[in-house]
Amino acid sequence: MLYSVLSTLRKSWRRFLIIYGDDMDDTKQGKEGGVIIRSIDVGYGNTKYCMGGDETKLKCDHFPSIASLYVGIDRGAGVMIKRDLVEVESNGARYQVGKDSIDTLSARDDRGRTLLTNYIDTPQHLALFRGALAYMREPVIDLMVSGLPVNYFTGHKERMAGRLKGEHKYPDGSSVMIKDVWIIPQPIGGFINYFMSTNQTESLADLKSLTIDIGYYTVDWLVCRGLKLQDERSGSIPGGMSLVLEKLTHLISEDRQAPFSDVNIVDMGIRNGYVARIQGQNYGFSHLVEKMNAYIINAVQSVVSSVGSLDDIDVIVLVGGGAKCYESVVKELLNGREIIVPDDSINSNVKGFYLAGAERIRKLGG
């Protein structure tokens, strides 16, 4: 059982909750069953959300982190199938977000993502968060767990929690009330999700691990002994999948000897085994992968430089939407060390957010 597995880690979890949960509202203390916990990870590339589930499988989903201004035009006239989109309001403007958001982009805007260091302060970030809330269909949420890149965590967690907490209103008159918000460093989500779903939890207190989170805009990493974070060996840098996709679009353009710049086509092609559909034809680009590795190598070298010697690292876990793309280079640069890439790595963080929230409520309620 996922939740009961942490009973062997009570002391380590208490330290974790004290370090990262000291700013959580105490009104949840003593509350027993019926507490609604949800988690959302608004990434630069994809917005992921977790709705809980049973003890063997958490229900998660995601959509592209693209928020387009709503234009109010329905050219389908009720004949075409309606796109899977949600209308939300953010900072006085109306946006469309959701699983078909790529289709809202114009030919002059084939990216659509907001790649800014102050991402959490943008109206697009809040619009994407509200889109995930709408998909979860939960009018009242007792605890929402979300995350920030490692380097942004200390300076931005309180402001982000303030933006997410409270009532979120929708154009159709509905609303969602979030009573409390807990923000934790993003890679901790992937770390928790992996160790709670394996048989290594009994020895976790003495285990030293390196978790590398390959996001769309950043690469984050953390070194832990048990659940105690080593700040000096953890960090975050720009250099996620967005740089890889930009390089690949350029290489594809050169290879085809024709202009090409649609990173979303390349992104889908990577998930399809390096086969993209361009101008109605399948185009394989696996032969270009080695040429983009320089960007991955630079990012991984930054991680290694920060972490230092890996001799004391027992386990290396690679999570995030770009984990599979980085895996071979990481393994080569780390001298053939075993690299663990969990299944469904794109949802690793958001699953861990949920599990951390569930354990916190259980501890405070017990």
Residue 2 pLDDT class (50, 70, 90 cuts)? very low
Q: 201 pLDDT exceeds 80?
A: no
Name the CATH architecture for the domain at 4-202+343-365.
2-Layer Sandwich (3.30)
Q: What is the reported pLDDT for 226? A: 82
Q: 194 pLDDT exceeds 60?
A: yes
**On the CB side of 49, how many CA atoms lie within 13 Å of its CA?**
22
> How confident is the model over 24-34, as pLDDT tens digits?
444 343 233 58
Q: 69 pLDDT exceeds 50?
A: yes
DSSP reduced 3-state for 70: coil
The count of residues in the chain is: 366
**CA–CA separation, 13 vs 92, rounded Å?**
41
Q: What is the reported pLDDT for 293? A: 86
> How confident is the model over 220-244, as pLDDT tens digits?
999 988 878 888 999 988 878 888 8
* 233 in Cβ contact with 303 (< 8 Å): no
Q: What is the reported pLDDT for 270? A: 87
For the entire predicted model, the pTM comes to 0.83
Which token pair is 39?
């988690």
Task: Name the one residue in this structure whose structure tokens are 């027992």.
Answer: 314
* 241 in Cβ contact with 326 (< 8 Å): no
Q: Where are the domains of the chain?
A: 4-202+343-365, 235-333
> How confident is the model over 293-338, as pLDDT tens digits?
888 898 899 999 999 999 999 999 999 988 888 998 999 898 888 8
| Average per-residue pLDDT for the chain | 83
Starting at the edge strand found earlier in the chain, the sheet holding 58-64 runs 58-64, 46-53, 37-42, 143-148, 181-185
Starting at the edge strand found earlier in the chain, the sheet holding 86-90 runs 68-69, 93-97, 86-90
> How confident is the model over 131-167, as pLDDT tens digits?
999 999 999 999 999 999 888 888 889 999 999 999 9
Q: What is the reported pLDDT for 78? A: 52
Cα 300 from chain centre: 19
